Structure 1
Amino acid sequence: MLRDKVEEALRTVYDPEIPVNVYDLGLVYNIKVEDNNVTVTMTLTAPACPAANEIIFDAESKIREIEGVNDVHIHLVFDPPWDKEMMSEEAKLELGWL
């Protein structure tokens, strides 16, 4: 399923300052696939994240590489604000936050 491939691709995108992918960090709020067009609604750990452009570009590029994807739109939002409680249990363990 295309949505699963998008999720898999997002698990390869990292904030350069945090050794956990953006999906497990809880930065991805929604993935919508319609007619092979992908829209991802996501946030950053902080609005002033210095790696924002790099993260967004990396996410979009990796999704575009998926066979069958026609177009990709990344919507960056800051509401609700990210909080470490949004992280997966695996991410919290990896960062030693459990």
Structure 2
Amino acid sequence: MVDEMRKESAVTDLQDRMLEQLSKVIDPELRIDLVNLGLIYGLSMDDNVVTVTMTLTTMGCPISAVLEQMIQSSLEKLPEVDEVKINIVWEPAWSPDKMSQVARMTLGYYN
């Protein structure tokens, strides 16, 4: 039981640190980080390979390759991460409702 709790704590710590790194990845067009934009849907790790499940604000986003490189660079700074894979999904579709309150206020989006 104690070992399971330690393992869960370590996983939570790593996920928190991954989210902290991703909060430093700023969308060059919107000037808000990917976490506050609500673009990150999930993080998983297997054998030191992180898979980021995310979406983009629009299909055919012209800066998707730039964002992917920024995400990889950011997460690879963590000592536990050897490789980053990015899984872009379109379901559920992104909408401004997925943004944090901070992002909404920054962009002047009020609903």
Structure 2 equivalent of residue 61 of structure 1 = 73
Question: In 2, Cα distance between the equivalents of 1:17 and 1:5?
Answer: 25
Question: What pairs with 1:1-98 in structure 2 (closer than 5 Å)?
Answer: 1-98=13-110
Q: CA deviation at 1:66?
A: 1.0
Q: Which runs of 4+ in 1 moved over 6 A?
A: none
CA contact (8 A) 1:24 1:88 kept: yes
Q: TM-score, normalised by structure 2?
A: 0.81
Question: In 2, Cα distance between the equivalents of 1:60 and 1:70?
Answer: 10
| Aligned-pair identity (%) | 37
Flag structure 1 segments of 5+ consecutive residues without an equivalent.
none
| Greater gyration radius | 2
- CA RMSD between the two structures: 1.2
Greater per-residue helix proportion = 2
Equivalent position amino acid for 1:12 in 2 = K
Q: How many aligned residue pairs are there? A: 98
Question: In 1, Cα distance between the equivalents of 2:17 and 2:47?
Answer: 15
Q: TM-score, normalised by structure 1?
A: 0.91
Equivalent position amino acid for 2:38 in 1 = G
Flag structure 2 segments of 5+ consecutive residues without an equivalent.
1-12
